[in-house]
Chains A and B, each alone.
Chain A
Amino acid sequence: AESPFKADIERAQKELTEKMTPGAIAYIPGSSVINKTGSWRVFKPEFHKDKCVRCFLCYIYCPEPAIYLDEEGYPVFDYDYCKGCGICANECPTKAIEMVREVK
């Protein structure tokens, strides 16, 4: 599955400049995708597909949103943006998401 923000990322990479615009208008919708907030993360959600019942709660609760859905409805974690808050793992009714410390 593809990130729903793929087109936004491509457009922002191509067109975004630091130049001041009249009225400080941000012309490119969703251009914040250029900031890869995944670097904020300490704990990383690890997904166990076998336990997932596709209740969509992680998808609904993710504040970024760094979770999107594949064709079958399973969550896909976008580690470029996941800040590692752990709400998805805390709310998962079947404990299919596990937070592990990320070592770099």
Chain B
Amino acid sequence: AVRKPPITTREYWAPGHAACAGCGCAIALKLATKAFSEAMEEKYGDPNAFAIAQATGCMEVVSAVFPYTAWKVPWIHVAFENAAAAASGVEAAWKKLGIKGKILAIGGDGGTADIGLQALSGMLERGHNVVYLMYDNEAYMNTGIQRSSSTPYGAWTTTSPPGKYSIGEDRPKKWVALIAAAHQIPYAATASIGNPFDLVKKVKKAAKVDGPAFIQVHCTCPTGWRTPLEKGVEIARLAIETGMWPLFEIENGDIWNIKIQPPGGGAKVYKEGGRVVRIEFKKPIEEYLKYQGRFKHLFKRPEAIEELRNQIKAMWKVLGVEAILPRPEE
């Protein structure tokens, strides 16, 4: 008997690229382009009706080593800060020329949260018909694992080394999806490679809305996170199940009606009037931290893990959810 896969077999991301073995961002881009082409087929009748503008970053460097390219769609590489600006320009040109389709802008967490935030804000504010996909591997991995504003609290990077006077990164993570939602754009969401079906669904939804959309995708990085190669997807899934990575959707900037996807992993979700108000997680965040070399030092500093737990609770509170995070002994 023949079984059909749940996603198109058309490929837009070719093998032979130079990404590290077990790269989580490569999974995200592969799935995102497939989902995008499905959405374009449903909306415009042409699966190839899209183009990509990409900021400098890991996935740009590994996919476009001259004279090779891993992309099978029209693709432009621009500087670190202006993927959103270039995508805006392509979109304006397509509109003028009457070309049907949508632009996908891709940036890493450095190119989005730090360097490209201004261009991103401009693009969202002007209302360009672009989907911005941020692959969030939580540091500047391409240049040698420097901290970005998206690096979580307590993480080791080469510019936030833990030691006698430091616990590693000492600032909380910046949630660009919430910043994007504050522009009252039609669609802003977070996704993760730990839940690929959710990721595909969200990319398709974002590709189909008229106007700007933003998706922040959690991607594991075995090199920068000091994790075993084969654990990439498992770790991303643990991030969702322990509460480290929320999956949510915000439409038209309506923060009172944030749609929160159930985290799974035995977590209990309580709703009130259709809204998620309380989540009791079953797995402690230590489950997520223990596989990663970048958090290894935290296990000697329990107060730092406690601080991280408080920060995650505060982040969930912004989403309107009371998060109950267990400790390992409970």
Contact = CB atoms under 8 A, between A and B. Distances in A.
A40 B21 contact: yes
B67 A63 contact: no
A61 B233 contact: yes
Given A8-B72, A32-B68, A89 B230 contact: yes
Interface string B45-79: 00000000000000000011111111111000000
Contacts of A34: 16, 68
A103 interface: no
A73 B233 contact: no
B97 interface: no
A72 B23 contact: no
A100 interface: no
Interface string A7-39: 010000000111101001010111111111100
B19 A63 contact: yes
A17 B193 CA distance: 36
B17 interface: yes
B176 interface: no
A62 B11 CA distance: 12
B232 A87 contact: yes
A29 B9 CA distance: 17
Contacts of B15: 5, 32-33, 37, 64-66, 78, 80-81
A76 B4 CA distance: 15
A99 interface: yes
Nearest to A57: B196
Interface in A38-67: 40-41, 54, 56, 59-66
Q: Which size class do A's interface residues fall under?
A: 35 or more
B145 interface: no
Contact of A90 (B18, B24, B231): B231
Given A33-B15, A87-B232, A73 B69 contact: no
A27 to B, nearest CB: 8
Interface residues of B, number: 46
Contact of A85 (B5, B11, B22): B22
B3 interface: yes
Contacts of A19: 67
A91 B21 contact: no
B2 A73 contact: yes
Nearest to A99: B230
Interface stretch (B26-34, B201-209, B262-270, B301-309): B26-34
A30 B21 contact: no
A88 to B, nearest CB: 9
B281 interface: no
Contact of A35 (B1, B68, B231, B232): B68
Given A16-B67, A30-B70, A31-B68, A37 B16 contact: yes
A56 B69 contact: no
B41 interface: no
A29 B63 CA distance: 11
A60 B27 CA distance: 8
A85 B193 CA distance: 16
A69 B68 contact: no
Given A30-B72, A72-B2, A87-B230, A60 B66 contact: no
Contacts of A16: 67-68
Contacts of B68: 16, 26, 31-32, 34-35
Interface of B: 1-7, 9-11, 13-24, 26-27, 30-31, 63-73, 193, 196, 222, 229-234
Given A19-B67, A64-B26, A66-B15, 12 more contacts: A26-B64, A26-B69, A29-B71, A30-B71, A32-B65, A56-B3, A73-B2, A83-B21, A84-B229, A86-B229, A86-B230, A90-B231
Q: Which are the 6 A-B pairs with shortest beta-carbon distances?
A: A86-B230, A85-B22, A30-B14, A83-B21, A73-B3, A63-B26
Interface of A: 4-5, 8, 16-19, 21, 24, 26, 28-37, 40-41, 54, 56, 59-66, 68-69, 71-73, 78, 80-81, 83-87, 89-91, 99
